[in-house]
Each structure stands twice: as C-alpha cells, then as structure tokens.
C-alpha cells in the first residue's frame, strides 16, 4: 500500500522468517519501537518486496526453504540496495557469521534471540532514519531558499546566471537566451520580466515551432478583415496585445523568413503593420527570444537573418546544461520530490543513497526537464518513503532514443506533386509534412525552394 502523507513516515521493518511465532514476536517489538512492520515467510517473497520498496531494517532468518538468508543477502547487495540487514539463525556458525559480515550484514543474531540487542538495533536504525529525514528536510528547505523565479541552484554557473539576470532585468529591451532543450530558458525569460520595470504588464509567450507558418505574421502582428481567406474580422497580434509588456519568442530559430523581416522592423522602429494593412502602428515591447539552435549555423545556411540575429543578441544569456552543474542535482531533486509527494498525497521524504548517486552520474541529455519528469514518475510509482534506484531505473531506462541527425533521405527525392499533397494534407504544417514524406524539415525547405512551392500566398 502507498504511504499516506497525512501522517509522518515511520521507518520500515521487514521480518523474514518461516516461523510465524518469531515473526509475531518481532512484529510486536518493532511496532512498539516505532516501525511500520512488513512480513515475509520465505526468501523469495522477501526479495520481491525488497525490489519494490526500500526497507530501513531487515531481520532475515538464515535457514529458510527455497531461498536462504545468505542468498537473499547476496541478491540484495548485488542490486545495490542500502537497506540495513541483520541475519538470525538457530544453528549459528562462525563461518556463516563471517560470510554474513563480508556480504554487508549489519548484525548477526543467534536464536533464541537476545531481545535487548534486537531492541538496541531497532533504536539505532530508527535514529538513523530520523537523522536522514532531517538532512532531506534541510535539502528541501535550502532548495526553497535557493529558488529564483522557479530556478534552483547554488553552483557557480547558476550564481552567475542569477547575477546576469538581475543586472539585465531593469534595462535590456532585447535579450537572446540560448541553451539546450530542457535547461529552463522560459524560466529565464519569466525572471527577466518579473524583475524588470514591466512586471505589472503582460508577458505573452509564442512557441514559434508550434505556429503554422502561413499564420505566423498574423499571429505576431495581427491582420485586418479580408486580408486572407478566413479573416472575417480585424485581429490584433501578440505585439499589440503585449504593448507595454514583454513578448517571449520561444524557439525563435523557427521563425519563417517573412516574419523575420517584419520582426526586425518592429525591433528597430517600434512599428508594425497588420497583415493586409498599410497603416503603421507603434508598440513598446520588450522582446526576449530563446533558442536551442546554433543561430550562426542557421545564418550560414541562409535560414536566419544575420541582421535580426545581431538585433536580438544585443545581450545574450547562456543557460548551462545540467551536466555542467551536477552539484545542483540534490537540491533540484529535493524540490521535485517535495512537490510531487504533495501532489500524489504520499509521504516520500527523499531518495536512498544509491539512488542519489545514480542521479548525479546520469548524463541528463534532457536537462532539468528530464530530471523533473524522472522524479515525477518515480514518485508516482514509489510504494515506500524513499525513492530507490529501482524506482528511478524504470524512468531512466525508458527514455526515447535521440532523434537521428538530419540528413537527406537515401532514396529518391519526393516529387513536386508529393510535396504539395503533403503540405495541403497538413494545413501547411512543415514539421508534420516532413514526417509524412520521411525527410527532415531542413530537406523539406530545400525541396520547397527547388520546386518553388508556395511562392504565391504560402
């Protein structure tokens, strides 16, 4: 059963013994010592339970049918669990005791059990549990204090990022934010807006990769009635709607050429024209653009205007990838665990030591977004009060493979008719059309230029 977040978590005690009377005795003692007690009648059942959740203490009988105590201990240690395990035996031998200690057993009890020693071990494990929870609470509290507009970090890279944001927010009118997918570029944009003089005005976000290209100019600058088929009324664009505030252009590298030219004029003169109108309108907008692309490469390929790049990049902010600030991972993790434990109504307090090590060692190609998604899924599936390495592994090992590099297809190039059909069938959505044709978006643009498709009204 999942742990209820309405009551504070108790340390978990697993009793593994084929003698029900021993289990009953130890269960009563464990409950009085403040443990949540679980029982298993054999080694196979114990292994299944240990695979599903972290146990703070395991009292494990040596001589059991099917799978004995030493075999359970070997399997548990091979799996990397940090559970404390004490062996019990009614036929104790020096050789067994030595082997148990070599395998990492915390204690070795002979039967009949020395109950004061058992209680002392339980008390020590309960104290260890409480101390670890205090550390985890401290990490979560520190993560809250380190947060700046949704971003968390105390690494040199993040301290420098926060310093740059604070210096630029009051003054910069155009900012280019660069960084890999998932690093938090939108949070940087929100911080620049929230800490600047326009914070009382609107911040409007445009995901440039999600707008149909034929509607781009209308989306940004508006249109007048009759400007194109379906334009039944005048419409203001994002820039007019955000007048006095901030426009955040996410994935700005996806801007089509026509929109790039109009955006440049708006940035330089503070003027825009609605589609289908000759009237110039004045706007006062801060523009923050973000991209994970190398815009110098896009410029060299002719897909991005160099003059627009220099106008956007008056000041630039580079957001560091997570692998370059791994010291922030424990604090990010603590914040995510606290958020999702509350959301899922579970009393998850943190991670086991082996799980923490796994996170620090992971390369995080998806950056903070990937870490958040991994923790969210692990919290959803977790059955105990600590996330284990097994909880994380299910998310870490099920990431989709990275997309292949964009190359020309090996087979024959699509015909002009096939290109037109794909574009018509997707309403002009070039990303979807490229997928239907089995080519890259870059290759699609080359074909559009080659066949002059959409040169009239596209």
In a shared domain, residues 380 and 442: no
Which of 291, 318, 345 delimits the end of a domain? 318
**What span, in angstroms and rounded, lies between the C-alpha atoms of 350 and 378?**
11
pLDDT of residue 353: 85
In a shared domain, residues 279 and 177: yes
In a shared domain, residues 43 and 74: yes
pLDDT of residue 151: 95
pLDDT of residue 143: 84
- Neighbour count for residue 368 (Cβ, 10 Å): 23
Would residue 93 count as lying in a domain? yes
pLDDT of residue 268: 92
pLDDT of residue 344: 93
Which of 293, 318, 343 delimits the end of a domain? 318
Which of 142, 172, 192 delimits the end of a domain? 142
CATH number of the domain bearing residue 346: 1.10.8.60
In a shared domain, residues 234 and 361: no
3-state class of 148 per DSSP? strand
In a shared domain, residues 436 and 293: no
Give the residues of the chain that fall short of pLDDT 50. Answer: 1-3, 399-411, 455-458
Residue-wise pLDDT tens digits, 294-339: 999 999 999 999 999 999 999 999 999 999 999 999 999 999 999 9
Residue labelled with tokens 């992971």 = 362
pLDDT of residue 205: 95
In a shared domain, residues 413 and 436: yes
Torsion angle in degrees (nearest 10) through CA of 146, 151, 157, 160: -80
In a shared domain, residues 45 and 169: no
> β-strand 281-282 against 271-272: which pairing, if any?
antiparallel
In a shared domain, residues 256 and 304: yes
Would residue 305 count as lying in a domain? yes
pLDDT of residue 333: 95
In a shared domain, residues 391 and 416: no
Would residue 78 count as lying in a domain? yes
Would residue 7 count as lying in a domain? no
**What span, in angstroms and rounded, lies between the C-alpha atoms of 266 and 132?**
56
Q: Print the domain residue range for 412.
A: 406-458
- Neighbour count for residue 269 (Cβ, 10 Å): 11
Residue labelled with tokens 């009890």 = 109
Would residue 392 count as lying in a domain? yes
CATH number of the domain bearing residue 117: 3.40.50.2300
In a shared domain, residues 284 and 194: yes
Is the alpha carbon torsion for 408, 409, 412, 416 positive or negative?
negative
pLDDT of residue 260: 92
pLDDT of residue 63: 83
Half-sphere exposure of 154 (CA within 13 A, CB side): 11
Residue 323 DSSP symbol: G
pLDDT of residue 408: 43
In a shared domain, residues 358 and 444: no
Closest by CA position to 179, among listed 303, 286, 316, 272 = 316
pLDDT of residue 411: 47
Would residue 3 count as lying in a domain? no
In a shared domain, residues 289 and 184: yes
- Domains in the chain, number: 4
pLDDT of residue 337: 94
């Amino acid at each position: 059963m999942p742990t209820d977040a309405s009551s504070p978590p108790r340390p978990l005690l697993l009793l593994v013994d084929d003698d029900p009377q021993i289990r009953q005795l130890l269960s009563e003692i464990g409950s009085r010592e403040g443990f949540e007690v679980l029982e298993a009648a054999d080694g196979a059942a114990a292994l299944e339970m240990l695979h599903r959740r972290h146990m703070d203490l395991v009292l494990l009988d040596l001589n059991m049918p099917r799978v004995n105590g030493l075999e359970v201990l070997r399997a548990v240690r091979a799996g990397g669990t940090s559970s404390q395990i004490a062996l019990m035996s009614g036929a104790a031998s020096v050789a067994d005791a030595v082997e148990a200690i070599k395998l990492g057993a915390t204690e070795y009890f002979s039967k009949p059990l020395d109950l004061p020693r058992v209680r002392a071990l339980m008390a020590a494990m309960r104290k260890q549990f409480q101390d670890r929870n205090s550390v985890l609470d401290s990490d979560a509290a520190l993560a809250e204090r380190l947060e700046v507009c949704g971003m968390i970090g105390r690494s040199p890279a993040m301290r420098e990022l926060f310093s740059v944001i604070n210096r630029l927010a009051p003054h910069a009118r155009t900012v280019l934010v660069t960084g890999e997918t998932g690093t938090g570029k939108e949070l940087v944009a929100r911080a620049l807006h929230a800490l600047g003089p326009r914070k009382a005005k609107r911040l409007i976000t445009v995901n440039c990769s999600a707008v149909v290209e034929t509607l781009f100019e209308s989306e940004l600058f508006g249109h007048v009635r009759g400007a194109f088929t379906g334009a039944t009324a005048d419409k203001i664009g994002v820039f007019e709607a955000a007048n006095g505030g901030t426009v955040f252009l996410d994935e700005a590298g996806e801007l089509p050429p026509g929109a790039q030219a109009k955006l440049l004029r708006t940035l330089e003169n503070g003027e825009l024209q609605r589609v289908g109108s000759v009237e110039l309108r004045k706007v006062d907008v801060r523009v923050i653009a973000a991209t994970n692309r190398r815009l110098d490469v896009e410029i060299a390929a002719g897909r991005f205007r160099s003059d627009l790049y220099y106008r956007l990049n008056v000041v630039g902010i580079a957001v560091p990838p997570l692998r370059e600030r791994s010291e922030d991972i424990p604090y990010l993790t603590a914040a995510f665990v606290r958020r999702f434990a509350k959301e899922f109504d579970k009393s998850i307090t943190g991670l086991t030591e082996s799980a923490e090590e796994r996170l620090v060692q992971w390369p995080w190609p998806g950056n903070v977004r990937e870490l958040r998604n991994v923790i969210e899924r692990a919290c959803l599936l977790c059955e105990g009060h600590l996330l284990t390495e097994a909880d994380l592994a299910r998310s870490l090992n099920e990431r989709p493979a990275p997309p292949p590099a964009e190359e020309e297809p090996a087979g024959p190039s699509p015909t002009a008719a096939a290109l037109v059909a794909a574009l018509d069938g997707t309403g002009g959505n070039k990303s979807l059309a490229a997928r239907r044709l089995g080519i890259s978006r870059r290759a699609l643009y080359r074909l559009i230029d080659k066949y002059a498709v959409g040169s009239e009204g596209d």
